[in-house]
């Protein structure tokens, strides 16, 4: 599934179910997600072997944490990069750039 | 209730922690390092363990195996929930084999997560409560049983005191007899429970002498044939005093009282039984009774030396005594003498 701008940056309903409606806890979770996802994204950008095991692990981890918090668009961006043709440099650049954009959108929500 | 959560992702840890914290009374501990979590488990036992499958160094499957190995055969093992993705069917089967209790699918569904955690904690709490209740009941039963056994032993001891007033034999004679009989039971391969029965039942062998007239019981000289007839009745009288009880000690004591004057060669009384038709407890008591009588002072005899007493047992093996009982008794000379010293009569009767 491709990311769509119709989808929310964050599934608030899911986040509320996790936090029991606590706004403070939601902010904490969002901060944890942004911190961890930023680290993973930075490693994805610097990983030379795009089709290697390490890249697969990084994308799996990114997808997992995004999904767990309800960061829908970041999750989709990670899934698209997972499915991308690693020989198609422009597409790859675009996918990686989208990761950064979705992260920035999440950061703005904190 | 203590919950341990292990996931290498700090974000996932916070998500799971936030969900379980919605349950009142939860005390959660979290680790991003499965190695550190396992080290923590060596000294701490959570009521629920939630762990991710994919972790570096020590994955979820290895963690489960190592965790279960920490407390093998635990009566109330910690429930373990492993978090996997839907398609990890093979991993789930392996986890079940290793001792996982349940699974949760990633991304976590907060409602399902909360329900599973609640259910597993409630189940574990019930199991622990049942175990504690069983232990407490067991302790109560043991206390009550001990009280009954203590009372039974006390009653027997008081019965022996009554008999002691009628007899020249000292309290130590019956105590030594019990000890010798218990020792022999062990030498013959009897269980600890059987040895205890012998120890407690053998001292009552002469209880029937309460019915023997003083003129016969305390007579310093030899008894006439008529007096012997009366004297020998102490076996059947003792049996009638002790028989019919539901107490295993008194049942054995009745058998010993009736048969402890039977002889291996059939020349004893009251039944003239021979060999293994004489109950083994009575064969044991017969030897212990004679051995201790030989070492004791009586109105009509001096105490024999231990060498002479052992020689007499050896000489009478196969006639008076069962050779299979005499042999281990003679071989355990030092242990027999140790009992004799421990329960030695300070004043000769």
Long-range contacts of B68-73 (CB under 8 A, 24+ apart): B68/B98, B68/B99, B70/B41, B70/B42, B71/B45
- Is B205 found in the same domain as B104? no
What are B142-186's pLDDT values in tens digits?
A: 999 999 989 988 988 888 887 777 765 666 888 899 999 999 999
Summarize the confidence of residues B221-245 as an average pLDDT.
94
Residue B324 has pLDDT above 70, yes or no: yes
- CB-based contact, B54 to chain A, within 8 Å: yes
Are residues B336 and B206 part of one domain?
Answer: yes
pTM of the shown model: 0.60
B80 domain residue, yes or no: yes
Whether chain A has a CB inside 8 Å of the CB on B56: the answer is no
Of B21, B106, B111, the CB nearest to A64: B106
Boundary of a domain, candidates B137, B153, B185:
B137
Q: Is the pLDDT of residue A67 over 90?
A: yes
Residue B167 pLDDT: 67
* Tokens 């990686």, residue located: A96
Closest by CA to B179, choosing from B164, B165, B163, B195, is B195
Please state the domain extents for chain A: 12-109
CATH number of the domain to which B175 belongs: 1.10.3210.10
Residue B337 has pLDDT above 90, yes or no: yes
**Cβ pair A29:B18 closer than 8 A:** yes
Q: What is the pLDDT of residues A14-46, one digit of tens each?
A: 999 999 999 999 999 999 999 999 999 999 888
Interface contact B15-A69, CB threshold 8 A: yes
Report CB contact under 8 Å: B11, A32. Answer: yes
The answer to whether A65 contacts B54, with C-beta atoms less than 8 Å apart, is no
Residue B186 sits in the same domain as residue B48: no
Report whether pLDDT(B257) > 90: yes
Q: Is the Cβ–Cβ distance between B32 and B7 less than 8 Å? A: yes
Confirm or reject contact between A28 and chain B (CB < 8 A): yes
CB contact under 8 A, A64 and B22: no
- Domain-embedded: residue B131: yes
Whether residues A60 and B54 touch (CB distance < 8 A) is answered with yes
Number of domains chain B contains: 2
> Hey, is the C-beta of A67 within 8 angstroms of any chain B C-beta?
yes
* Residue B24 belongs to some domain of the structure: yes
pLDDT, tens only, B70-83: 999 888 899 999 99
Cα gap B320→B255, rounded to integer Å: 18
Distances (CA, A) of B34 to B131, B177, B208: 30, 64, 74
Cβ contacts of A36 on chain B, cutoff 8 Å = 9-11
Looking at the fold, whether B114 and B76 belong to one and the same domain comes out as yes
CB B326 within 8 A of CB B313: yes
pLDDT tens-place string over residues B269-322: 999 999 999 999 999 999 999 999 999 887 777 889 999 999 999 999 999 999
Q: How many CA atoms lie less than 13 Å away from B96 in the CB half-sphere?
A: 8
Q: Are residues B322 and B173 in the same domain?
A: yes
State whether A32 and B19 contact (CB < 8 Å).
Answer: no
Residues of chain A neighbouring B108 (CB-CB closer than 8 A): 18, 68
Q: Which residue range forms the structural domain that includes residue B308?
A: 166-342
Residues B146 and B287 sit within 8 Å (Cβ to Cβ) = no
Which residue, of B121, B137, B153, is where some domain finishes? Answer: B137
Average pLDDT over chain A, rounded to an integer: 87
In A, which residues are within 8 Å of B106 by CB distance?
64, 67-68
Lowest model confidence (mean pLDDT) among B82-86, B140-144, B231-235, B267-271? B82-86
Kindly state whether B23 is in contact with chain A, defined as any CB-CB distance less than 8 angstroms.
no
Q: Which residues of A touch B12 (CB under 8 A)?
A: 64-65, 68
Task: For residue B47, tell me if it sits in a domain.
Answer: yes
**Contact check, Cβ <8 Å, B18/A25:** yes
B110/A32 Cβ within 8 A: no
Mind telling me how many Å the CA of A55 is from chain B's nearest CA? 15
Shared-domain flag, residues B78 and B199: no
Residue A10 has pLDDT above 90, yes or no: yes
Asked if B124 and B185 sit in the same domain, the reply is no
Same domain, B80 and B18: yes
Q: Which residues of A touch B107 (CB under 8 A)?
A: 64, 67-68
Beta-carbon pairs below 8 A across chains A and B: 48
Inspect the interface and report whether the beta carbons of A36 and B10 lie closer than 8 Å: yes
The string of pLDDT tens digits covering residues B32-73 is: 999 999 999 999 999 999 999 999 889 999 999 999 999 998
The answer to whether the Cα torsion of B330, B335, B341, B343 is positive or negative is negative
> Nearest-CA neighbor of B52 among B36, B66, B31, B22?
B31
Both B215 and B332 in one domain: the answer is yes
Asked if A69 reaches chain B (Cβ–Cβ under 8 Å), the answer is: yes
Query: What is the Cα–Cα distance from B234 to B21, expressed in whole angstroms?
Result: 78
pLDDT band at residue A1, thresholds of 50, 70 and 90? very low
Classify residue B58: in a domain, yes or no: yes
């Amino acid at each position: 599934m491709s990311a769509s701008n119709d989808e929310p940056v964050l599934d608030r309903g899911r986040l509320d179910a996790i936090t029991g409606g606590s706004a403070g806890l939601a902010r904490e979770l969002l901060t944890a997600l942004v911190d961890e996802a930023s680290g993973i994204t930075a490693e994805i950008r610097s990983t030379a072997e795009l089709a290697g095991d390490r890249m697969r692990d990084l994308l799996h981890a990114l997808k997992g944490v995004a999904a767990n918090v309800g960061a829908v668009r970041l999750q989709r961006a990670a899934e698209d990069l997972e499915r991308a043709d690693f020989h198609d440099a422009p597409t790859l650049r675009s996918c990686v750039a989208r990761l950064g954009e979705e992260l920035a959108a999440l950061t703005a929500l904190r | 209730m203590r919950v341990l959560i292990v996931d290498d992702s700090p974000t996932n840890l916070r998500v799971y922690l936030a969900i379980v914290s919605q349950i009142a009374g939860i005390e959660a501990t979290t680790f991003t390092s499965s190695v550190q979590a396992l080290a923590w488990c060596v000294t701490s036992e959570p009521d629920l363990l939630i762990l991710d499958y994919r972790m570096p160094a020590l994955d979820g499957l290895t963690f489960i195996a190592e965790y279960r190995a920490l407390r093998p055969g635990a009566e109330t093992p910690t429930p373990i929930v492993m978090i996997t993705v839907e398609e990890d069917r093979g991993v789930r089967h392996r986890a079940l084999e290793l001792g996982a209790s349940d699974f949760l699918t990633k991304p976590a569904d907060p409602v399902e997560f909360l329900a599973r955690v609640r259910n597993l904690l409630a189940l574990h709490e019930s199991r622990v409560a049942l175990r504690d209740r069983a232990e407490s009941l067991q302790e109560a039963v043991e206390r009550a049983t001990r009280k009954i056994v203590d009372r039974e032993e006390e009653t027997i001891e008081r019965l022996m005191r009554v008999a002691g007033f009628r007899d020249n034999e000292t309290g130590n004679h019956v105590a030594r007899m019990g000890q010798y009989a218990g020792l022999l039971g062990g030498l013959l391969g009897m269980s600890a429970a059987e040895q205890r029965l012998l120890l407690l039942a053998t001292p009552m062998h002469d209880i029937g002498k309460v019915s023997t007239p003083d003129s016969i019981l305390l007579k310093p000289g030899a008894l006439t044939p008529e007096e012997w007839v009366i004297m020998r009745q102490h076996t059947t009288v003792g049996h009638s005093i002790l028989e019919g009880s539901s107490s295993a000690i008194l049942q054995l004591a009745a058998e010993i009282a009736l048969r402890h004057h039977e002889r291996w060669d059939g020349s004893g009384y009251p039944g003239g039984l021979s060999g293994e038709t004489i109950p083994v407890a009575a064969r044991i008591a017969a030897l212990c009774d004679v051995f201790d009588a030989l070492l004791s002072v009586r109105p009509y005899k001096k105490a024999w030396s231990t060498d002479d007493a052992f020689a007499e047992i050896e000489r009478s093996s196969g006639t008076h005594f069962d050779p299979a009982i005499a042999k281990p008794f003679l071989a355990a000379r030092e242990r027999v003498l140790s009992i004799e010293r421990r329960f030695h009569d300070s004043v000769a009767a």
